[in-house]
Amino acid sequence: MIKNLTILGSTGSIGVQALDVARLLGFEIKALTSNVRIDILENQIREFRPSYAAVADPAKAEELKIKVADTDTEILPGREGVLECARLEADCVLNSLVGIAGLEPTAQAILAGSNIALANKETMVTGGDLINRLARENSVSILPVDSEHSAIFQSLQGCRDKKQIKKLILTASGGPFFGKTAQELENVTAEQALKHPNWSMGAKITIDSATMMNKGLEIIEAVRLFGIPEDRVEVLVHRQSIVHSLVEYNDNSVIAQLGVPDMRIPIQYALTYPDRFESPVKELDLAQAATLTFSKPDCETFRCMELCREALRRGGLYTASVNAANEKANELFRSGKIRFSQIAQAVEASLEYPAGADDYTLGDIIELDREIREKTEAMLK
Ligand code: MN3
């Protein structure tokens, strides 16, 4: 059981809920990092008294330094400050950064020998093979925080041989645009896309949920976390978000994890694995839920899932390409600069760019990410 913890991205949705869990279980906080929300970070510093805190924006870091001058917490500025926090020796580093910005901090934390509770799915999407190799070499565990992957991880407990797994089944809520046609989606706004039916999450992932790119990224994440080939990872639409994912074994027995949609369950399991502790999360009342529904996803309207599968089949860094195009297009859609359908177009176009080399470094991934972002922006202008 861990005693201390660093949280990268502590003022976001996952970070705040992780601190709820930390408060309850009495974990010591080594370091906290935030992008810009220093008012929240200040309160967190006063409550949890970490040794270090980093703010990615150097000007905001300076502002925070003055605010918390009366505490013992040292403020580290900029991206380098975030990386320094990732490198601190800790029992566990919970990475809840958004996007490829999480890749390098995950690598640094692994090199420092800390176990990883991974909420940043883009780490595995962009650099999964390399991250898995680093984790093996440094005897570090990567524990999933993403609710579907936590459900699969929980459903795999007791599985002694991966050969007995027939398939992984990721559930998907379908997002706010479930049931809509491509034509109906032409004129949807970012405001409409930001209304998720079941989960309260950050803006980037909520848009990813509306395009179902999120599920595409999660297929890639599942392949890399569990070492199961792409054609044995299925997606099942389940509107109620109560069955969080399932594993089908070779005897056709299906094991699933269920619970109310509250991220504190998967966060806590990643931090206490293999043990379980009481949780403030509501009990699941299946009689009240009454009906659980399941259906096949509409992969023609929501094309991003298939594009992510294509990236996986091509190998190399194609998964980093689709991720880069999506991050850029997602951002442009949120600021009202492009239409909803252009997100999938950008993801598709990124596959044109050669990225098949198998022998790559962290620097290659970051360079490719930059190039694809530039091309995506130029294409969408
Ligand atoms: Mn998820």
Ligand 1 centre to CA of 173 (Å) is 10
Q: 299 pLDDT band (50/70/90 cuts)?
A: very high
233-237 β-sheet, strand order: 233-237, 165-172, 243-249, 254-258
Q: Give the Cβ contact number of residue 68 at 10 Å.
A: 17
Q: Which domains does the chain have, with CATH numbers?
A: 4-144 (3.40.50.720)
92-95 β-sheet, strand order: 74-77, 52-55, 28-34, 4-8, 92-95, 115-118, 142-144
Q: Distance (Å, rounded) from C-alpha 256 to C-alpha 142?
A: 21
Ligand 1 centre to CA of 234 (Å) is 14
Beta strands in the chain (DSSP E): 4-8, 28-34, 52-55, 74-77, 92-95, 115-118, 142-144, 165-172, 233-237, 243-249, 254-258
pLDDT at 35 over 80: yes
Q: Which conformational region is residue 159 in: left (phi greater than 0), alpha (psi within -120 to 50 degrees), or beta?
A: beta
Q: Give the Cβ contact number of residue 74 at 10 Å.
A: 15
Q: Distance (Å, rounded) from C-alpha 378 to C-alpha 381?
A: 5
- pLDDT value of residue 199: 78
Of 145, 123, 144, which Cα lies nearest the Cα of 134? 123
Identify the bridge partners of residue 4 per DSSP, sorted by sequence position. Answer: 28
Each residue's pLDDT tens digit, 261-283: 999 999 999 999 999 999 999 99
- pLDDT value of residue 98: 95
Ligand 1 centre to CA of 119 (Å) is 9
Ligand 1 centre to CA of 73 (Å) is 33
pLDDT at 360 over 80: yes
The mean pLDDT value of the chain amounts to: 97
Ligand 1 centre to CA of 172 (Å) is 8
- pLDDT value of residue 201: 83
Q: Distance (Å, rounded) from C-alpha 18 to C-alpha 133?
A: 27
Q: Distance (Å, rounded) from C-alpha 286 to C-alpha 172?
A: 19
Q: Distance (Å, rounded) from C-alpha 242 to C-alpha 258?
A: 5
Ligand 1 centre to CA of 151 (Å) is 10
- pLDDT value of residue 195: 86
State mean pLDDT over 68-77. Answer: 98
Q: What is the CA radius of gyration of the chain?
A: 20
Ligand 1 centre to CA of 237 (Å) is 13
Ligand 1 centre to CA of 283 (Å) is 20
Ligand 1 centre to CA of 364 (Å) is 27
Q: Are 370 and 350 in contact (CB under 8 A)?
A: no
Ligand 1 centre to CA of 49 (Å) is 30
Report helix, strand or coil for 51.
coil
Q: 216 pLDDT band (50/70/90 cuts)?
A: very high
Each residue's pLDDT tens digit, 122-136: 999 999 999 999 999
Of 78, 16, 79, which Cα lies nearest the Cα of 47? 16
Q: Distance (Å, rounded) from C-alpha 262 to C-alpha 200?
A: 9
pLDDT at 381 over 90: no
Of 10, 353, 273, 262, which Cα lies nearest the Cα of 19? 10
- pLDDT value of residue 196: 79
State mean pLDDT over 120-149. Answer: 98
Structure tokens at 224: 């890399």
Ligand 1 centre to CA of 221 (Å) is 10
Ligand 1 centre to CA of 71 (Å) is 36
- pLDDT value of residue 160: 95
Ligand 1 centre to CA of 146 (Å) is 5
pLDDT at 1 over 90: no
pLDDT at 97 over 80: yes
pLDDT at 200 over 80: no
Question: Any idea what the Cα angle at residue 149 is, between residues 36 and 81, rounded to 5°?
Answer: 25
Ligand 1 centre to CA of 72 (Å) is 36
Q: Are 65 and 58 in contact (CB under 8 A)?
A: no
Q: Are 360 and 129 in contact (CB under 8 A)?
A: no
